[in-house]
Structure 1
């Protein structure tokens, strides 16, 4: 391990107190944050060669060049500080609990005559938020219940007292069909409206029994006053509540506020499920899949998940149950073995089992497809990383090209690239293919980027031959497998092979190759349309200049690419392309409006 002597000396002087430690690389990058009950004991373990650490940890230690630490009062404080630092800095060796999904919330707006709305944005200044809801269906059922019970307005009018008194708004269809009481015309008082909003808050908090009790009392009072029609309407609302509660209760309703956390692990991944229970009903749920960075224990992963999820969902419940023993100061965490709480654990673990099987099946599918492609295409290794190229030009104008990337048999859109053809004049697919393949892999070599496991060329022998020539010039030919796919019969061509390969039309290999070819074509066509519209604009501007014809236009646009670049060119540059007389005409007469967008040119 190549860690510095300075770090080793610093480790020897660490205090035997709780705190967090930070490891920095030679470039000063924060690469890991950890917590410890005893900083001295925990950090020393990293540098003890007799300790059986895994390869990932050895790699981390080999990159440590500087150490910083912060002493805190308790292990719980260390856990909170560690969590905050990981979120803010995202060190590459720390796992980060994050979702690629934006889950919706329900919020009660902070305004006169509040609204109850679903949203995916979170801004506490706008109102009181509930959620996030991982099931849109569950969220919509709650919203539907609230609107059926309480006649909450759905419009976004500013119902200030002045606007309502001035008669600025009129009731809409929602009022006429009985879904709203017409606060916009002052047909319901703010006091009565807010009473309904308070009941909506109770339901969103999970306190359905409070609202049920209210309706039961109202029904009794209406019956005593012989107001049977009113009693019937209230009874219908009570039935709605009971039906909703019955569909939500999964254990003994006497179980009040409770959080459930469970975890299961594989070698490289861990899966966590969270359930928030109020009065026996599941109000919130969340599933997380974690890719392990180092040799993290299930206890450490679950601790981090508990802190993160409770903070994200603003949960203050003190009672927690889990499937493994976990100790976090200030929280009461139990591992039940019998009873209704054990049933809740089992339910949570069932959710994880489904999540794991889904993840494993997806991985198995990807691996199966890659194995099939390796076999069908006679490759030496699995094509984890595929790059596909396509040209696009219509009637020889605005030639462009695209490259799309598939990783693990799926599109990797962040790696897609557009290309303006720079060295080829006119519709020459072969030379265009040579140019973009050469440019792509010249840049890959210069920047030390990973090479693909397979290159796919959209085209037959001609385009494939041009791409191979580009690879030969870069000394990459033979180092990367390359094939061409011809559109008409879906034939696969190999370099120096006169006969094409025909893959079974039902094969997953052919489907993936067709998918990546079609994606490259779509991506190129989209870019070409953008270029063509810009070219039309350029032509109209140049055509307005007397003495500039089609030939001059084609030369200028082919060389410079856009009107803005023509405008920026010097007289000498323009003279080289179209001669001095035409160059002076263009410089003197080209309109000076700015273009709205810069052209992409890689």
Structure 2
């Protein structure tokens, strides 16, 4: 449907609460939303886009039709919306990937056992404690246990590496017993492991009681060194307890949420408290949100659709859309009252600020990792006057040997990084001989034929933000008519090399843009050009080698293309065919004894 037709259909909707389901031309659900009045909400998508975000505009561009389900109340619409989103995971809804699984603490069975985290139980004769839902609590428990009992955190294997090297920093700091330097006997090491396992299984209070008993016993027996070791462990556990009290609240259970944003990304952070102590922490990096109130509400709905344990109190770093509706939804899931608070002072505000700080830290780490790449994309987008930075770039190069074995390579860069699963190879079919322009024309036509005809799982269904061709204006001019003819709206540019085969400029329909002075964009385009050239020429070499092999077989009396293919399929290489005797060759289906003799004679005479 056209946007005009979609608006007409939307204007005919009733003013009732309900859920609307947006679909693309392949009838795939791409967005699900709820509305207090369906007509008003759905019709707002079609018409003027002046108040819409870029994400909404993109979604609307892909809408071909929509369905709707009427509900009696807005609450009923919210419950249905959450259920449908969980079922269909539409592309344009805010989605949280639920990577929660069971977590275990693993104790290996070896001469010097090791304690570590594990995601699953393996058949490796190790002991496993668990399962635990929270990876956060397992990670903390293992780290603190290793510190308290001064057990190694490295990957060294004992007794193989026992006493063979100087201790690492942990050994110098006294937080590892340093078996690598031979500072602890095997007996004492096993004793520490046993105490550590008892601590993990029995908890701090039970372990401290046992340690105190042993400390007094060692002291009475004048084993003061062992008594001091017990004393240090008790202090370490007490220090851990004090550290945990710093991150605590005077409530039995509470979840704390924060949402922070930068220009490109947002971070949704959750801190979970049980019995007044921090027991879990989760975060998600998502696309930058347009409206924080809407996003908070939607994210919290998504979060508790994945989690069954809902606390009695939820603290937020800002307001949410339809708070009473959200509260009603959470209470229906919990079966009890839920309080939503917006702390302004005291310990709750301190915890919210800590949640915000963690979210900002995770966002900074993400931006730091991707910062250079995003800066390069922004610079390239500005240089080429694109409407937005090109996150998904396709690049093409032609390779041949004097017009023989013509091939093309297509590489993809997603967020400025190679996306190798989307790389494609093309053998040129429409002609023989050297014609880079004609080859590029054929390849782009075939590529966008796949876009229209492939199933939804194909990476060909992803429309790029930018196409870069290896070559200048002739290649660009060859491709632009194909793009227009196939009704594809993607900017196309060429990558021009200097006489030393280095990237010099970017060609477009009408001229060239010098790129050398734009350092980030220059580096990115150079990397793309080198990668597409490498990929295309590697494919060409393989094809040329294979055709060379086949052509040598075709020189043998009685061996045509069909028999050459049979031989290559059976023996894989020409070397294997050369080394095969007449008897072995004649056993191949379709190869007669006469053929085998001819093959053998041909290669033995060479």
TM-score band by shorter chain is: 0.5 to 0.7
Question: 2:315 corresponds to which residue?
Answer: 321
Provide the C-alpha distance between the structure 1 equivalents of 2:562 and 2:273, rounded to a whole number of angstroms: 69
DSSP 3-state at the match of 2:229: helix
Q: Describe the superposition over 1:523-566 as per-residue Cα deviations: whole angstroms up to 9, x where unpaired.
A: 3355457668x939x94x998x79738x979x789x97994599
Give the superposed CA RMSD. 6.0
User: CA 1:345 to 1:470, structure 2 compared with 1: closer, same or farther past 3 Å?
Assistant: closer
| Aligned partners of 1:108 and 1:127 also within 8 Å | yes
Q: Deviations over 1:164-186 (max 9, x none)?
A: xxxxxxxxx99x98697799xxx
2:524 matches 1:512? yes
Structure 1 pair 485–209 and aligned structure 2 pair: CA distance change class (3 A): farther
TM-score by length of 1: 0.61
Structure 1 equivalent of residue 444 of structure 2 = 440
2:22–2:67 Cα contact (<8 Å) kept: yes
Matches within 5 A, 1:33-72: 33=32, 41=36, 46=41, 55=52, 56=56, 59=60, 63-67=65-69
SS at match of 1:349: helix
Structure 1 unaligned blocks of 5 or more: 15-19, 156-172, 568-584, 592-602
For residues 27 and 482 of structure 1, do their structure 2 counterparts lie closer, same or farther at Cα, with a shift above 3 Å needed?
closer
Does the 8 Å CA contact 1:453/1:481 hold for their aligned counterparts? no
1:542 and 1:469 mapped to 2: Cα distance?
A: 32
Distance 1:401 1:352 in 2: 45
The corresponding residue for 2:215 is: 219
8 A Cα contact 2:21 2:31, kept in partner = yes
TM-score for both structures, normalised by structure 2: 0.61
Contact 2:270 2:283 in 1 (8 A): yes
Cα distance, 1:97 vs. partner?
Answer: 1.2
| 210 and 291 in structure 1: CA distance in 2 versus 1, 3 angstrom threshold | farther
Partner in structure 2 of residue 289 of structure 1:
285
Structure 2: which 5+ runs fail to align? Answer: 1-5, 158-178, 453-460, 573-587, 596-606
- Number of the residue aligned with 2:556: 548
Q: 291, 295, 300: which is aligned to 2:297?
A: 300
Stretch deviating more after TM superposition (104-113 or 275-284): 104-113
Q: Specify which of 16, 21, 24 is matched with residue 23 of structure 1.
A: 21
Inter-partner Cα distance in structure 2 for 1:67 and 1:481: 45
Aligned to 1:263: 259
- Deviations along 1:389-412, one digit per CA (max 9) or x if unpaired, are 234568998664312234565545
Of 234, 237, 243, the match for 1:241: 237
Q: How far did 1:260 drift?
A: 2.0
Of 536, 551, 575, the residue aligned with 1:524 is 536
Cα drift, residue 444 of structure 1: 1.7
- Larger RCO (CA under 8 A, 6+ residues apart): 1
- 2:268 aligned with 1:276, yes or no? no
Of 289-298 and 332-341, more deviation after overlay is shown by 289-298
The residue number in structure 2 matching 1:418 is 425
Deviation at 1:200, TM superposition (A): 1.1
Between the aligned partners of 1:515 and 1:136, the Cα distance in structure 2 is: 41
2:487 corresponds to 1:485: no
State whether residues 372 and 509 of structure 1, in contact with CA within 8 Å, keep that contact through their aligned partners in structure 2.
Answer: yes
Structure 2 counterpart of 1:199 = 199
Q: Structure 1: how far apart are the matches of 2:388 and 2:234?
A: 61
Alignment of structure 1 residues 152-231 onto 2, 5 Å = 197-201=197-201, 208=204, 211-224=207-220, 226-231=222-227
User: Does the aligned pair in 1 maintain the 2:22–2:63 contact within 8 Å?
Assistant: no
Distance 1:521 1:417, change over 3 A: same
Structure 1 match to 2:342 = 335
Q: Deviations over 1:317-376 (max 9, x none)?
A: 544433346533134443333222221111112233445567788998667545644665
The Cα shift of 1:517 comes to 1.0
Shift of 1:514: 0.5
